[in-house]
Chain A
């Protein structure tokens, strides 16, 4: 049984290669799960890293890995039958609300934690579900055939959909809705925005939501060690991302001084986010 105690070694059941840089690794095991939660993945002799669960059914789960650094390159090169150590799940996960008007905004591999959110939202069938999905270019758009809901696509290079950012599409959607509903702060035009992607993207999405009184939930990323809120490596303001997060709601984001500004390096040194990001991709 997989728990949040010592890692359990399990075999890779299936690998789906999406493109040169993305692969999804499937494991035929059951694990407790709420969309947005993550597991610690150990490749013995290499390292252990947090990955969000990107697919989940009662007897199967998967992680989606972008080959960027030493560990992730190793992970995407794993073969069926190879064993990795898994412990988890960790973190709070997204709060899936029952209201009808919802937008999911994903940037790049930020789609990985949001895909199970969409799965959960699609199952009762939500006509009003909006999916906005952006990436650097066409090849980086994850799970092109996964959802029944139509996606609004944008890419940085214009290779598919709108050439520009997810925030352009989100603003368009909000304005279109406000023309119909009127700009009434008591009844915002969306009941919730779920977002994950580069932190600067999430900060922009949050700003837009604040301006239009729309509640949002975003999933943050920081360097992690324990996964359960003790070691403090992943502090963001007075929160630990692994345990208090990784999902944070508008109310928390408003007071989170390190959101979109600061992250700790492995040594514990706080640095500006861009410096952190370039270190993480080594």
Chain B
């Protein structure tokens, strides 16, 4: 299912969510070979960071809670990875984060020169008190990050949004005005918390963590629906997508591409091939196409 996205040709409309696998070229390539049109690297930050202590990721059965905490070697310490990625025959989306507009700009400028196909701005991670979501809950700070980064990159820019924003449509509009070429939604929801009642302690060492997987799908669908109403740039829709039917649903909300992350837990790395097949079958059975059903749930149009 060849798909055009921001001037690039992708072999499938499926994206690997940032923070899932994505730790080296070999595994990014494996995900791509298993049917993913666009693998996303783990978020790259301004300085070396270990992330949080374990427990960091717990499967709750119908979704997961995680506070991995943005581990990164730091953008200046990834030369080997960039060298490896230079000779690649698959596209990559480089996710980046910072603790200030200046840090976002520093990292973005450096990463852009390394030649990823897209850069994704993580203004939505709930697992750090000074990064991520801090920017993405407010239209002004979202606009500030996007517009500053836009000036220093020469690859298409994607803004990844958090469902924690009170009005995600307004955030998307601010990003579009700032020069974002696409929106990616949603990052993990919440944050939430699970407490172990025997030890009387939160299970995650960071105490709270982002929710993902099937249990957040309705939130993701609503967010993509709201964003589609608000902007005219394309949307990567993700959050709990696990099956072809889920993909159809979020495309009908307005998504151009469909992302998956936690689905790897529930159906393995081959989930991309499986969902491609299911999506294709559904479209054939309904004698339709992705383009024809995109935004179909907006009955009155935009």
Q: Which residue of B lies closest to A46 (CB)?
A: B53
Which A residues contact B (CB, under 8 angstroms)?
Answer: 4-7, 9, 40, 42, 44-45, 47-49, 83, 85, 87, 225-233, 235, 237-240, 257-258, 264-270
B198 touches A83 (CB 8 A): yes
Q: Which residue of A lies closest to B43 (CB)?
A: A268
Q: Given the complex, which residues of B lie within 8 Å of A6, measured CB to CB?
A: 58-60, 194, 196, 203
B58 touches A238 (CB 8 A): no
B29 touches A232 (CB 8 A): no
Task: Give CA–CA (A4, B57) in the complex, Å.
Answer: 11
Contacts A44-B196, A44-B201, A238-B30 given; indicate if A5 touches B261 (C-beta within 8 A): no
Q: Which residue of A lies closest to B57 (CB)?
A: A226
Task: Give CA–CA (A232, B27) in the complex, Å.
Answer: 9
Task: Give CA–CA (A83, B72) in the complex, Å.
Answer: 33
Task: Give CA–CA (A267, B71) in the complex, Å.
Answer: 5
Contacts A44-B201, A238-B30, A240-B21 given; indicate if A267 touches B59 (C-beta within 8 A): no
Q: Given the complex, which residues of B lie within 8 Å of A257, measured CB to CB?
A: 26
A270 touches B26 (CB 8 A): no
Tell me the minimal C-beta distance from A127 to chain B in angstroms.
Answer: 40
B20 touches A232 (CB 8 A): yes
A235 touches B23 (CB 8 A): yes
A225 touches B201 (CB 8 A): no
Task: Give CA–CA (A238, B20) in the complex, Å.
Answer: 13
Q: Which residue of A lies closest to B80 (CB)?
A: A270
Q: Given the complex, which residues of B lie within 8 Å of A5, measured CB to CB?
A: 58-61
Tell me the minimal C-beta distance from A155 to chain B in angstroms.
Answer: 34
B265 within 8 A of A: yes
Q: Given the complex, which residues of B lie within 8 Å of A42, measured CB to CB?
A: 54-55, 203
Q: Which residue of A lies closest to B51 (CB)?
A: A266
B265 touches A229 (CB 8 A): yes
Q: Classify chain B: how many residues form its interface, as a range.
A: 35 or more
A238 touches B54 (CB 8 A): no
Task: Give CA–CA (A30, B9) in the complex, Å.
Answer: 51
B26 touches A268 (CB 8 A): no
Tell me the minimal C-beta distance from B216 to chain A in angstroms.
Answer: 15
29 contacts between A and B (CB under 8 A): A6-B59, A6-B196, A7-B58, A9-B198, A42-B203, A47-B205, A48-B55, A85-B203, A87-B58, A225-B54, A225-B56, A226-B59, A226-B265, A228-B59, A230-B20, A231-B19, A231-B66, A232-B27, A237-B27, A238-B27, A238-B29, A240-B21, A258-B24, A264-B23, A266-B51, A267-B48, A267-B50, A268-B42, A268-B72
Task: Give CA–CA (A9, B64) in the complex, Å.
Answer: 19
B81 within 8 A of A: yes
The 5 A-B pairs at the shortest CB distance, nearest first, are namely A269-B73, A226-B57, A48-B54, A238-B26, A9-B198
Q: Which residue of A lies closest to B29 (CB)?
A: A238
With A226-B56, A230-B64, A265-B73 already in contact, 14 other A-B pairs whose C-beta atoms are closer than 8 Å: A5-B60, A7-B196, A40-B54, A48-B54, A49-B54, A83-B199, A225-B56, A225-B68, A226-B66, A231-B21, A233-B71, A240-B27, A266-B71, A267-B73
B68 touches A267 (CB 8 A): no
Q: Given the complex, which residues of B lie within 8 Å of A40, measured CB to CB?
A: 54-55
- Residue in contact with A270 in the complex, picked from B24, B49, B201, B261, CB distance below 8 Å: B24
- What does the 1/0 interface line of B247-280 toward A look like (CB < 8 Å)? 0000000000000011011001100000000000
Tell me the minimal C-beta distance from A128 to chain B in angstroms.
Answer: 37
Q: Which residue of A lies closest to B268 (CB)?
A: A229
B53 touches A232 (CB 8 A): no
Q: Given the complex, which residues of A lie within 8 Å of B232, measured CB to CB?
A: none
Contacts A44-B199, A266-B50 given; indicate if A233 touches B23 (C-beta within 8 A): yes
